[in-house]
Amino acid sequence: MILFLINIIKASVKVTQTKASLIKTFYVGIALTGLVGFSQLSMASGSHHAEQTEHTEIKGPNGGKLLSDEDFSVEVTIFESGIPPEMRIFAYQNETEIVPEKVELTVTLDRLGGVQDIIQFTPERNYLVGDKEVIEPHSFDVTIKAQFQGKSYHWHYDNHEGRAEISDRLIKLSAIETENITPQTLEFTDTLFGVISVPQNKKFQLHAPYPGLVEKINVNVGDKVVKGQRLATLHNTQTLQNYYLESPTNGEISGVFSNTGDRADENAILEIIDLSEVWVDLSAFPENIERLSKGQNVIVYDLHHHERVKTKIDYIAPQMTGGHIARARAVMKNPDGHWRPGMHIKADIEIENRPVDLAVKVNAIQSFRDMPVVFAKFGNTFEVRMVQLGESDGEYVEVLGGIAPGTEYVTGNSFLLKAEVLKDGASHDH
């Protein structure tokens, strides 16, 4: 066998270095390294069949996958430099290029989910070019059928990328979560910061209606009071009679400005605030104020995200402050007293709601070959889907293409699948 190969090399060296002889030398050199292994089956009813495996894979002169059956070979390439990916196939007989017009060829790509791409070919220059874009991912089972000089040829091989198969047990242990891709309504928001304040109509200062003396103060700062409760006893120095200051509302004593024996004059004696409602005073920059309007929904958070309340914008100041900040305001119920005056908060203003045909969760997006992808699930098999993305509201992102409606995709712990795919290799070699 070795002598036979040496004789082939000698014969090829004597031949003038034409393109055909270069191809011959290329084949023989690979054969000597033990990388060439043509899988041949005997002819049956004029039809030739060959199964190409990973162990017999070799490259052709154009860097593509080379498939051979007796003296006929095809080289499969995917060209994607500056144009959408297309399949180009070169044909050879006895290692010499064949004029592409002499070959009829069809390629079938079977993808996960039962999707099948059937590609027909026409001659172009020195190769056959497919009539369809080879969409990403380039992961499929390939079947090639060719006709040349009245004989039929057939090859089948796997070309998988970005794919991982995981058992039910590991899926459960990994806490992989999925959902189906569906239409969504994206909610676009602006985030503003602000502070809680006491509504002007919920702050009460109590004065003596007559000149006199303060006989007794019945409350202290911080005391809770109810409407009609006696807060202080006063003495009218003109009538020499005592009377009482009563609370005009339910609330809390926020200020005591007099003591027993003080004169009761025009100054306030007590202050009460009612915190059953509070104001949310928001600061908006010029780019924010253009998008604000009364009636917009607002979700208010404390800075620790312990509480959140949904309310509405009810006032936008007509003037900017000296710091070029506009003031906007919302009113918020405060039944448990969580929202205290002076507390700093942040608020998400719902600027726009926009329905989209398809959207995926933001945390489902991973990167594969520098492209955004999600992992589609087909039983126990997961495979990347290169997605074209639109706008995002922070929770969902619009999908403009790359995945079919209704596809089940991974929403939780998708990074584990990326690690699994990269562990198995993520080559994109055609």
Q: What is the pLDDT of residues 78-118, one digit of tens each?
A: 998 889 999 999 999 999 999 999 999 999 999 999 999 99
**In this structure, are 334 and 385 located in the same domain?**
no
Give the residue from 322, 352, 382 where a domain finishes.
352
The predicted model gives 195-221 an average pLDDT of 95
**In this structure, are 237 and 146 located in the same domain?**
no
- Identify each DSSP E strand in 139-211 by its residue range: 140-148, 151-159, 163-165, 177-180, 182-197, 203-206
- 4: pLDDT strictly greater than 60: no
**In this structure, are 117 and 143 located in the same domain?**
yes
- Residue 315's domain spans which residues? 189-197+276-352
**3 state DSSP class of 102:** helix
Q: What are phi and psi of 21, to 5 degrees?
A: -70, -35
- 405: pLDDT strictly greater than 90: yes
- Identify each DSSP E strand in 94-137 by its residue range: 96-97, 103-110, 116-124, 127-133
- 420: pLDDT strictly greater than 90: no
Token duo for residue 301: 């958070």
Q: Which residues pair with 193 in a beta bridge?
A: 283, 346
**3 state DSSP class of 58:** strand
104 in Cβ contact with 87 (< 8 Å) = no
pLDDT per position as a tens digit, 136-163: 999 999 999 999 999 999 999 999 999 9
CATH code (residue 363): 2.40.420.20
Whether pTM > 0.85 for this model: the answer is no
- Per-residue pLDDT at 148: 96
**In this structure, are 300 and 400 located in the same domain?**
no
- 24: pLDDT strictly greater than 80: no
Q: How many domains are there within the chain?
A: 4
21 vs 320: which has the higher pLDDT: 320
- 54: pLDDT strictly greater than 90: no
303 in Cβ contact with 344 (< 8 Å) = yes
| DSSP H helical ranges for 270-408 | 286-289
The predicted model gives 24-49 an average pLDDT of 35
Q: Is 234 inside any structural domain?
A: yes
Which amino acid, residue 289?
I
